[in-house]
Amino acid sequence: MTLKTFDLPDVGEGLTEAEVTEWKIAPGEAVAVNDVICEIETAKSLVELSSPYAGTVSELLVAVGETIEVGTPIISVEDSVTSLPAASDEPDGTRQDIGGSAPTAEVRASDASGDVQRDLADSAAEASVPAPDMPGEVTGPLVGSGPKADAVKRRPRKPGAIVGGPTSTGTPTRTPSPSGDQGTSSGDSPTPSGDSRTSSPNQRTLSGDGRTSSRDRHATRVLAKPPVRKAARDLGVDLADVPATGSAGEVTKHDLLAYREQRGSEQDVTDSVGVDREPAAGGRTERVPVRGVRKATAQAMVRSAFTAPHVSIFRDVDASRTMEFIGRLKKSPDYDGIKVSPLLILARAVIWAAARNPSVNASWSDDEILVKHFVNLGIAAATPRGLTVPNIKDAQKLSLKELAQALNELATTARAGRTQPAQMQGGTLTITNIGALGLDTGTPIINPGEVAIVAFGTIKQKPWVVDGEVVPRWITTLGGSFDHRVVDGELSARFIADVASVLEEPALLLD
């Protein structure tokens, strides 16, 4: 049997890391090519990964909840091959040459030496690419199942740096990790302090206190069991800073806790490795790691807020006729089964107003303004994973009914946390429906890469003056933030006024 490992691929977002949120298979189970093996969470979405190999799952190399870099092995699979194809059907597995000379033994898994098996397994694990003629493997590229050619560059093996020493037959062996992870190759093996061996250029160098030097700190993956990695994240400790005392150079639980105690940090989470994060007994502070969508959102908002000069304006709008129009749509057979809300009319109003004021549907470059003559309408959505902004592609081409269906699908997918990366790329103009939270208005931050965002407040009955009389009307407040490098005050006011006019009189959409 041949052992093969599957590395975490670049899923097409240009991201460098992801977190394994769920395994769909377990060790010992059979897996076929393209079977879904796990679900990962990137900074943008949840993505299912498929297996490029067929065989039996040997080991899951990453624990649920662990954040790893692209190119890290996540699973190992054993194929079901017991021998290479024989040139004849003789039962003894040998064949005579034409001249009747001694039989030539074919290579068989049953009688191959342990060294040969290990070499084959190591070669497969290093390459992570199936051989073209072996059964149960993929001979062509599998879409979305491997990193880009330039995503991860493996360091070449250095013959002078052999971990674990030679075997009795002179074949180098790999030092296994105590966690059950794949052993590291010669270029990735840590050298414990006090070791008399000379480290190779690719091995980690240790400073006088037993820690990795700052120059090599991030050159090699630190050895540690998944529960220890999780505890380190919960405690806010960089494992590269922790002196390792494990038998194979790995960081142990004792190492982690001793390092934290030495640093004198206040421990506000439990130090029990392998349990979910929760506040320590009597503690009043909970540490929540910043990662995934929350981390990406924070970076994007800071970049937007301190790069684009924001200007915000507001306007109260009588949306009574919009509410009447929505009531008629809900009763229409054409909209049976389709959820209809005032957001639908606002979305159509924003598209209509952008066509009248093209510069709000643009992006800023250092030496030019890119005006888009299409609208990829983004809808800010609060999901269990954090704030996401999926967008409806070419929304200006959709009919009112098609737009309603697109909004329904977008909301359903976002609430389930299944929005894909492609759905959040290429947005040109965004709506944030803060009214769904019962808020009247706010000052939204522009989505990076755009120059305008519209905030839609709650619609509720308020006293309103109509023809000199105070009457109850359905009132909402529109807010908008604009990049003042592209959208000046006059243009932003005209755009918001056009959006408001449609909410006041939806019949304008018939123009």
Between strands 30-31 and 17-23, the pairing is: unpaired
Say which residue, 473 or 230, is predicted with more confidence: 473
Say which residue, 159 or 293, is predicted with more confidence: 293
Say which residue, 281 or 237, is predicted with more confidence: 237
CA angle 9, 10, 13 (to 5 degrees): 155
Between strands 469-483 and 310-318, the pairing is: antiparallel
What three-state secondary structure class fits 309?
coil
Q: Is a pLDDT exceeding 80 seen at residue 57?
A: yes
What are the Cα distances from residue 469, in Å, to 269, 442, 494? 61, 29, 28
Convert the pLDDT of each residue in 285-319 to its tens digit. 777 777 766 677 777 778 777 778 898 999 999 99
pLDDT at 44: 62
DSSP per-residue letters across 1-18: --EEEEEPPP-SS--SEE
Domains observed in the chain? 1-84+107-154 (2.40.50.100), 185-289 (4.10.320.10), 293-510 (3.30.559.10)
Q: Mean pLDDT: which of 135-144, 174-183, 218-227, 371-380 is highest?
A: 371-380
The sign one gets for the Cα dihedral 101, 106, 111, 113 is positive
Q: How far apart are CA 424 and CA 236, in angstroms?
A: 30
Say which residue, 161 or 41, is predicted with more confidence: 41
Q: How far apart are CA 99 and CA 90, in angstroms?
A: 17
Q: State the CB neighbour count (10 A cutoff) for residue 226.
A: 20
- pTM more than 0.85: no
Per the rule left: phi > 0, alpha: psi between -120 and 50, beta: everything else, 145 is alpha
Nearest to 378 by CA among 388, 390, 361: 390
Q: Is a pLDDT exceeding 60 seen at residue 206?
A: no
The crossing angle, in degrees rounded to 10, of helices 342-356 and 489-504 is: 140
The three state secondary structure string of 48-104 is EEECCECEEEEEECCCCCCEEECCCEEEEEECCCCECCCCCCCCCCEECCCCCCCCE
Point out which residues pair with 311 in neighbouring strands: 482
**363 contacts 372 by C-beta, under 8 angstroms:** yes
The crossing angle, in degrees rounded to 10, of helices 226-235 and 253-263 is: 20
Convert the pLDDT of each residue in 60-83 to its tens digit. 988 888 888 888 899 989 886 544
Q: Is a pLDDT exceeding 70 seen at residue 508?
A: yes
**341 contacts 454 by C-beta, under 8 angstroms:** no
Residue with tokens 């070791």: 195
Residues with a catalytic annotation lie at: 484
Q: How far apart are CA 355 and CA 365, in angstroms?
A: 21
Q: How far apart are CA 146 and CA 143, in angstroms?
A: 8
